[in-house]
Amino acid sequence: MAKSRIQFICQNCGSVHQRWAGKCDACGEWNTLVEEGTNSGIGSGPASLRSPRKGRAVALTTLSGDIEDAPRIASGIGELDRATGGGFVRGSALLVGGDPGIGKSTLLTQAAAALAAKGHRIVYVSGEEAVAQIRLRAQRLGVAAAPVELAAETNVEDILATIADGRRPDLLILDSIQTLWTDMADSAPGTVTQVRSSAQAMIRYAKSTGAAVVLVGHVTKEGQIAGPRVVEHMVDAVLYFEGEGGHHYRILRTVKNRFGPTDEIGVFEMSDKGLREVSNPSELFLGERHAKSPGAAVFAGMEGTRPVLVEIQALVAPSPLGTPRRAVVGWDSARLSMILAVLEAHCGVRFATHDVYLNVAGGYRITEPAADLAVAAALVSSLTGIALPADCVYFGEISLSGAIRPVAHAQQRLKEAEKLGFGQAVLPRGSEEISGGNGFGAFQPETLTDLVVRIAGTLRRNAED
Ligand code: TYD
Ligand code: MG
C-alpha cells in the first residue's frame, strides 16, 4: 500500500520540498512553504487515477487532416474581444488574473450578460460572493434582466454535476479559482494542490465538452496567494487585468494565448455603471497638453498591434541629500539609471547633485525599450528648464554607447501621432523608410548627444527670436 508522506509545497512556485525551510530554494520567496499531504499527488494525477491499471489504447493519428477552425464566441465588448483575439474559444480555458478589487467580476458579469442576451447559455459560479451580492452588482451594471445562470458554489464535483444537465453551457465562469476545492485533493482550499487539481478538473471539462471556461484568479503583488502562477501553464490563454490605484483606467493585457496574439491590450475605464470601453487610449494617457512646461515628452509606443501615445513626465531638481533620490512610476528604474548614466558619460549632462523623478501619465506602465528616447528628452528638458515642442513625439532605444537604435513599427507610431495632431517626431535613423512626409517634421539623431544639442539649441533659437 502506498504510504502517505508529508511534503512541503511552495505556495508561490509550486516546487516540492521534503523538509520545511524558511526560504524556497526554487524561487527565493520567504515563508511560502506549506505542509500538504501527498496522496493528492503533486505531479502524479488524482488519487483515483494512480492505482495501477492496465493502460487503454488511444487512437494515433496523422499531422494532416481536418482542423476544426477554433470557433469563437465574441462578447461584443470590443476591448475584451481584442484581448482574447476575437472572442472566447470553445473548448478552451482562459485565466483572468488581477489584484483583488480591480474589476474582474465586473468585467465578467458584463461579458456574461452580453453573451446571454445573444442567446448563449452562460453559467456564472461564484465562490466568493453570495447570490445577493452578484445580483446587486448586476443591477448596478444595468444587466439584471440578462438570462445568466447563477450559483454560489465552491466544490468542483458539485459544479460539474450542476452543469451536467441541460444544454451544455457555452461559457462557464468560475470566480475564483482560489475558492474551488475538489474531493480529489485533501489540502485546504486555496493551496497549490487544490488550485491545481480544481483547475485540472475544469480544464478537462472544457476540453471534453467544448464549453469555454473562464477561471478568475487573484494575484497579490507579493505573490502570497497560491494559484494563478501555477495555473498559467495549464490554461490556453492568460489575461491580466491591471490598473493603478487612484486611476480609473484598467488594462486587460494578454500574456499568453494559444489561439491568438499576445501583447494585445484592452483598455477600460471604471465608472459608476461598470467598465466602459476606451477605444482610443492615446487620449487617456496624453495628460493635459495645453501648457508648455519643461519635463514632458510624448512617447509614441506600441501595445501589440496598436499604437499608444503616452506622456512621460520628468522632474529634475537640486538635491539636498548626499545620495540624490531617483523615483520612477510606470517604468523600469534600472532602465532610468542606465539613461542617466549614458547622459552623464556621453553627453556631459550631470545629474549627480539632482533628484530625479519620472512618471508615466495616467497610471500607464511602459515595458518597451523604445521609450528611452522620450525619457532622455524629458530628463534633459526638465534639467535645462527648456520646454520641448508640444507637437513632437519621441521613440527609439538608447544603447550604452549613446547611439540611438532603430525600433519596430516606426510607420505605425508616426501615423498615430499624425492622427492625433502631432507635427514632428524624433526617431532613430534607418528604422524604416519614413514615407509620406506631408508636412511631418522628422529629426533622426544618430547619437543621444545630437538630441541634447538640439534641445539646448532651442533655447538659443528662442532667445534670438
Ligand atoms: P470587482 O469586479 O468586484 O473586483 P474583483 O472581482 O477584481 O475583485 O470590482 C470591485 C471594484 O469596482 C469596487 O471597488 C467597486 C468598483 N465598481 C465600480 O466602480 N463601478 C461599478 O459599476 C462596479 C460594479 C464596481
Ligand atoms: Mg471578484
Question: 183-234 pLDDT, tens per residue?
Answer: 988 888 878 888 889 999 999 999 999 999 999 998 765 554 456 677 888 9
- Specify the 3-state DSSP secondary structure of 169: coil
**Can you tell me the distance from the alpha carbon of 296 to that of 168, in angstroms, rounded to the nearest whole number?**
54
DSSP 358: E
State in Å: Cα 100 to ligand 2 middle.
7
What does pTM read for this prediction?
Answer: 0.75
CB 296 within 8 A of CB 283: no
Residue 274 Cβ inside 6 Å of ligand 1? The answer reads yes
The protein residue whose alpha carbon is closest to atom 11 in ligand 1 is 101
Instruction: List the beta strands (DSSP E) in 33-181.
Output: 33-37, 72-73, 88-89, 93-98, 122-126, 149-152, 171-175
Question: Locate cell 521609450: which residue?
Answer: 371
State in Å: Cα 104 to ligand 2 middle.
6
**pLDDT number for residue 433:** 57
The residues of the chain scoring below 70 in pLDDT are 1-4, 37-52, 67-70, 220-228, 245, 287-291, 431-439, 459-465
**Can you tell me the distance from the alpha carbon of 158 to that of 161, in angstroms, rounded to the nearest whole number?**
5
Ligand nearest to the CA of 102: 1
Kindly tell me the sign of the dihedral angle through the C-alpha atoms of 334, 14, 258, 150: negative
The protein residue whose alpha carbon is closest to atom 8 in ligand 1 is 101
Ligand nearest to the CA of 98: 1
What residue type is 154 in one-letter code? T
178, three cell numbers: 482560489
Segment 42-82, tens digit of pLDDT? 444 454 455 567 788 888 878 887 766 558 899 989 999 99
155, three cell numbers: 466544490
- Taking ligand 2, which is a single-atom ion, which protein residues have CB atoms under 5 Å away? 105
- Specify the 3-state DSSP secondary structure of 78: helix
Residue 100 Cβ inside 6 Å of ligand 1? The answer reads yes
**Can you tell me the distance from the alpha carbon of 62 to that of 444, in angstroms, rounded to the nearest whole number?**
53
The protein residue whose alpha carbon is closest to atom 14 in ligand 1 is 101
The protein residue whose alpha carbon is closest to atom 25 in ligand 1 is 274
**Can you tell me the distance from the alpha carbon of 196 to that of 217, in angstroms, rounded to the nearest whole number?**
12
Burial class of 448 by CB neighbour count within 10 A (0 to 12, 13 to 18, 19+): buried
Residue 137 Cβ inside 6 Å of ligand 1? The answer reads yes
The protein residue whose alpha carbon is closest to atom 12 in ligand 1 is 103
Task: Report the residue among 214, 215, 270 best suited for mutation to probe ligand 1: largest number of ligand atoms under 8 A from its CB.
Answer: 270
Instruction: List the beta strands (DSSP E) in 201-244.
Output: 212-218, 237-242
